[in-house]
Amino acid sequence: MAVTIKDIAAAAGVSRGTVDRALHGRGGVSAEAASRIRRLAEEMQYQPNRAGLGLAALKKPLRIGLLLPRLGNLFFEEVVRGAEAAQQSLADFGLGLLFRRVQSYDPQSHLQALDWLAGQGVGGICAATVDLPEIRERVACLTRQGVPVVAVNTELSPCGCLSYVGCDYRQTGRIAAGLLLLLAVPEPRLLIVTGSRHAKGHNERIQGFLDRLAQARAPCQVLDQLECQDDDREAYRVTREALARLPQVNCLYVAGAGAAGVGAAVREAGLAGRAPILAFDDVPTTRGLVQEGLVPAIVCQQPFQQGYQAVKLLFRCLANGERPPARFLTDPVIKIAENL
Chain contacts with DNA (rule: CB under 7 A): 1-2, 4-6, 13-18, 20-21, 23-24, 26-30, 33-34, 47-49, 51-53, 55-60
The b-or-e profile of 305-332 (16+ CB within 10 A means b, else e) is: bbbbbbbbbbbbbbbeeeebeeebbbeb
Distance in angstroms (rounded) separating the CA atoms of residues 14 and 110: 49
Min CB(33)–its own copies separation in Å: 27
Which one, 53 or 244, has the nearer CB to DNA?
53
Which one, 46 or 76, has the nearer CB to DNA?
46
Distance in angstroms (rounded) separating the CA atoms of residues 254 and 298: 10
The binding site for its own copies (CB under 8 A) comprises: 1-2, 49-55, 58, 61, 91-93, 171, 174-175, 177-179, 182-184, 212, 296-297, 331-339
Distance in angstroms (rounded) separating the CA atoms of residues 62 and 234: 43
DSSP code for 94: T
Distance in angstroms (rounded) separating the CA atoms of residues 203 and 47: 43
SS3 152: strand
**What does the radius of gyration of the chain's CA atoms come to, in whole angstroms?**
25
Which one, 56 or 336, has the nearer CB to DNA?
56
Task: Say which entry of its own copies, DNA, none residue 143 contacts (CB below 5 to 8 A, set by partner kind).
Answer: none
DSSP code for 92: G
Which one, 189 or 316, has the nearer CB to its own copies?
316
DSSP code for 73: S
Min CB(75)–DNA separation in Å: 36
Task: Say which entry of its own copies, DNA, none residue 339 contacts (CB below 5 to 8 A, set by partner kind).
Answer: its own copies
Which one, 72 or 293, has the nearer CB to its own copies?
293
Q: Which residues does residue 327 pair with via DSSP β-bridges, in sequence order?
A: 164
Task: Say which entry of DNA, its own copies, none residue 184 contacts (CB below 5 to 8 A, set by partner kind).
Answer: its own copies
DSSP code for 183: H
Task: Say which entry of its own copies, DNA, none residue 337 contacts (CB below 5 to 8 A, set by partner kind).
Answer: its own copies
Min CB(248)–its own copies separation in Å: 20
Which one, 132 or 334, has the nearer CB to its own copies?
334
Min CB(338)–its own copies separation in Å: 4
**How is 12-65 classified by DSSP, letter by letter?**
HTS-HHHHHHHHHT-S-S-HHHHHHHHHHHHHTT----HHHHHHHHTTS-EEEE
Task: Say which entry of DNA, its own copies, none residue 296 contacts (CB below 5 to 8 A, set by partner kind).
Answer: its own copies
Min CB(318)–its own copies separation in Å: 16
Task: Say which entry of its own copies, DNA, none residue 171 contacts (CB below 5 to 8 A, set by partner kind).
Answer: its own copies
Q: Which amino acid is at 234?
A: E
**How is 159-171 classified by DSSP, letter by letter?**
SS-SEEEE--HHH
Task: Say which entry of DNA, its own copies, none residue 334 contacts (CB below 5 to 8 A, set by partner kind).
Answer: its own copies
Which one, 59 or 323, has the nearer CB to DNA?
59
Min CB(165)–DNA separation in Å: 25
Min CB(92)–its own copies separation in Å: 4
CA quadruple 270, 273, 274, 277: dihedral sign = positive
